[in-house]
Structure 1
Amino acid sequence: MYPRLIVDLDKVFCNVKQVVDLCGTFGISVCGVTKAVCGDPRIVQAFVDGGVASLGDSRLDHILRYKHLKLPKVLIRAPQIQDAARVVENVDVSVNTEIEAMKALEDACSRLGVRRHGVMLMVDLGDLREGIIERREFEEAVRFIESSKHLFLYGVGANLNCLSFILPDERKMDDLLSFVRLAGESVSVADLVVSGGNSSNINLMRSGSMPSGVNSLRLGESLLFGRERAGYDYLPGTHNDAFVLQAVIVELKEKPSVPWGTSGVDSYGQVHSYEDRGARRRALLAFGHQDIDTGVLWPINESLRIIDSSSDYTVVDVTDSGERYRVGDVIEFRCGYHAVARAFASPYIDVIFANSFCL
């Protein structure tokens, strides 16, 4: 069936091991984030075999797919109060910013006989997504955790480059550590997981500018694709083609490169513009926005060019390919993070697992 996503498990493993070993040289452990692959057990096993210290996901249903594994499991999206019972029953740690939510977790532990549940307090360093800003509020949260019977402070974390795309730097990591020192008045700082962020932190780490107190990162994109997120560069020794989309040509015709008629807006209210390149040979492929995020796909044949996509189709210019494509032929694309995330969640794309010897 097409379209389909081919997953090379050996290449995923190689990426994980390369990145985990790199982080290890800087004294940083890795929480492997599994949300892009919906917690698929085969890829999770590659994470485990590659040496991650813990596993994290934003969705409980994904974590349930590998609940049997012994590694600590972290819910990396702040829990809804209504989900408190499911959270304490199924994960070891959850990220939190609100005392009301932590009260619900404590009550659920008491009610269900769950002895302990870890809390990672998140602080906001400027990206304005989740996190506590005020020191007084942070200290109040730490005191609540310390006074509770079942909760314990597992760590302190921050997230950057996700909502407002503020990049991590040495000063922001120092700010994170200042919160950790506040917690140290009540707990042993040496025992805390200090989670500096995500794949955006890798370049900071590689440059030697990551403060030594940061001892953990939550990584997904770099493990799956070998790509750090600050400069959007691939890391040495990793594979950028562990996930390949295959799609079928359903129409192949020479057409003008500029539409004719009065232009309207697209579904997002945007007006499109097109470069006049004369008549071009255009392949119409049977996938679109409803199937996958077409904005982060790159043809493996680099002479091809994605022109545009609708909900059901993607148009590719094959004029300069040097190949004699026909209707029914398959075109392959390397996938980015959001393409894979949507493909794994899509009922319209088959996911096929393959293995190839990886040096």
Structure 2
Amino acid sequence: MQLNLDLDSITHNARTVRELCTAFERTAVAVIKSAYAVPEIISSIRQGGIEQFMAGSIAAGLILQISGSKATGLLGLTPVNRAPEVVRIFTRSAQTELSGILAIDRAAREIGMIHGVVLCVEAGDLREGLNIEELPEFVTNVEALSFGSVSLAGIMVNYGCLRTVLPDAQAIARTALAVSSAIKGTRLTRDDVSIGGSIVIPMLALGAVPPIFGSVRSGEALLLGSVPGAFEAGDCGLRSTMRLCGRILEIRTKWDSHHCSARRRALLDFGDLHTDVRAIRPLLPGSFVADWSTEYTILDVTEVNANLQHDDEIEFSLSYSAMIRAMSCAGVPKAFL
């Protein structure tokens, strides 16, 4: 098995997203998760003209620092006991709980720094974030702490970041209105307000992203050239970037009691340990994933019009979850092409 990454296509996707954001007077921000925080990918994104990065975790922030691309801030929420690490590595971080903000304030005061708090607001996708009704109170609370070691540095919104829940246009419009109201009387401008989720990219192309959001965060659109839930690679000029290649370890015709027929089955050299098998698709016409274990994937090739042999290679496209697991697994060799 091997995961092939097309770095030129990642650069193309970064350039496409940056140019789209520039056309709509937005700033493009790349989201880097620890699974794909590798120098080759970070460099390819920078070559596409994106210079601002948000880290999905403390680990991703450290790798960004090592690569010379310091993260603009920490996107992922962290436990209170890791506040000292957060303030040492990042100048700002996402927060949704007052106790977490107070922990950041204490940690920043201990090292004589001012740390920026970015309030995360939930737009209806039921992930992390303040309810819009809570936003004014939290803005007031953080502003009241501004004489200490934290300051209100921005507001961020996630959109379409869970598998099954997608906020509608009315929800995002209500959120935009609440954010616009909340920042009145503060030092924040639209440049300090961001919206994230790769599904925002085609929305932006349609002019459907409210103007209060001055920057757009994306990860999947850059890394895979796809948009979760609704769009395939190629929309908005994005390119597919990754292929998982599996080798045939065994190929035989066996009786399948489920289909009540003899089926040609190819046993491949990867399984659920290596990627999210539920979220991959074979590129070989006529084939489909019939079953899998931790170590193997079984491909039904009964309808394939080709003379497949032992040790032949078969390519698969990946969804975001499959890519994350494959990139995270040390047992999956990576080839940067």
- Conserved in 2, the CA contact under 8 Å of 1:32 and 1:218? yes
Closer, same or farther in 2 for the Cα pair 1:353/1:211, shift >3 Å? same
Superposed, which structure 2 residues align to 1:1-359 within 5 Å? 3-35=1-33, 37-68=35-66, 69-114=68-113, 116-133=114-131, 135=133, 137-146=134-143, 147-148=145-146, 149-163=148-162, 165-190=164-189, 192-234=191-233, 235-240=235-240, 242-256=241-255, 258-259=256-257, 274-276=258-260, 278-354=261-337
Closer, same or farther in 2 for the Cα pair 1:345/1:72, shift >3 Å? closer
Closer, same or farther in 2 for the Cα pair 1:168/1:54, shift >3 Å? farther
Cα deviation for residue 289 of structure 1 reads 0.7
Cα deviation for residue 174 of structure 1 reads 2.4
Closer, same or farther in 2 for the Cα pair 1:201/1:94, shift >3 Å? same
- Conserved in 2, the CA contact under 8 Å of 1:16 and 1:223? yes
Q: How many residues align?
A: 333
Cα deviation for residue 288 of structure 1 reads 0.8
Cα deviation for residue 181 of structure 1 reads 2.8
Deviations 1:218-272 (A, max 9, x none): 21111112212252333243222x211111211110113x33xxxxxxxxxxxxx
- Conserved in 2, the CA contact under 8 Å of 1:201 and 1:230? no
Cα deviation for residue 162 of structure 1 reads 2.8
- Conserved in 2, the CA contact under 8 Å of 1:173 and 1:196? no
Cα deviation for residue 316 of structure 1 reads 0.8
Deviations 1:47-72 (A, max 9, x none): 22212242123221122112153554
**Please, what is the CA RMSD of the aligned residues?**
2.1
Cα deviation for residue 179 of structure 1 reads 2.9
- Conserved in 1, the CA contact under 8 Å of 2:24 and 2:204? yes
Closer, same or farther in 2 for the Cα pair 1:329/1:164, shift >3 Å? closer
The range that moved more, 93-102 or 24-33, is 24-33
The range that moved more, 230-239 or 205-214, is 230-239
Counterparts of 1:286 and 1:209, CA distance in 2: 44
Deviations 1:105-140 (A, max 9, x none): 1111111222x32221111222222111153x3233
- Conserved in 1, the CA contact under 8 Å of 2:205 and 2:236? no
Amino acid at match of 1:281: R
Q: Secondary structure at the match of 1:352?
A: strand
Aligned sequence identity (%): 29
Amino acid at match of 2:50: V
Counterparts of 1:191 and 1:215, CA distance in 2: 5
Cα deviation for residue 216 of structure 1 reads 1.7
Counterparts of 1:59 and 1:121, CA distance in 2: 16
Amino acid at match of 2:18: V
Closer, same or farther in 2 for the Cα pair 1:289/1:189, shift >3 Å? same
Amino acid at match of 1:46: S
Counterparts of 1:210 and 1:161, CA distance in 2: 13
Q: Give the TM-score normalised by the residue count of structure 1.
A: 0.86
Counterparts of 1:237 and 1:63, CA distance in 2: 29
- Conserved in 1, the CA contact under 8 Å of 2:65 and 2:71? no
Amino acid at match of 1:118: G
Any gaps of 5 or more consecutive residues in structure 2? none
- Conserved in 2, the CA contact under 8 Å of 1:30 and 1:216? yes
Q: Secondary structure at the match of 2:227?
A: coil
Counterparts of 1:101 and 1:188, CA distance in 2: 22
Counterparts of 2:74 and 2:64, CA distance in 1: 13
Matching residue of 1:269: none
Amino acid at match of 1:99: L
The range that moved more, 17-26 or 171-180, is 171-180
Q: Secondary structure at the match of 1:154?
A: strand
Counterparts of 2:216 and 2:31, CA distance in 1: 10
- Conserved in 1, the CA contact under 8 Å of 2:55 and 2:74? yes
Cα deviation for residue 334 of structure 1 reads 1.9
Counterparts of 2:259 and 2:193, CA distance in 1: 49
Any gaps of 5 or more consecutive residues in structure 1? 260-273, 355-359
Deviations 1:127-173 (A, max 9, x none): 222111153x3233222322333322222122232337332444223
Counterparts of 2:12 and 2:132, CA distance in 1: 41
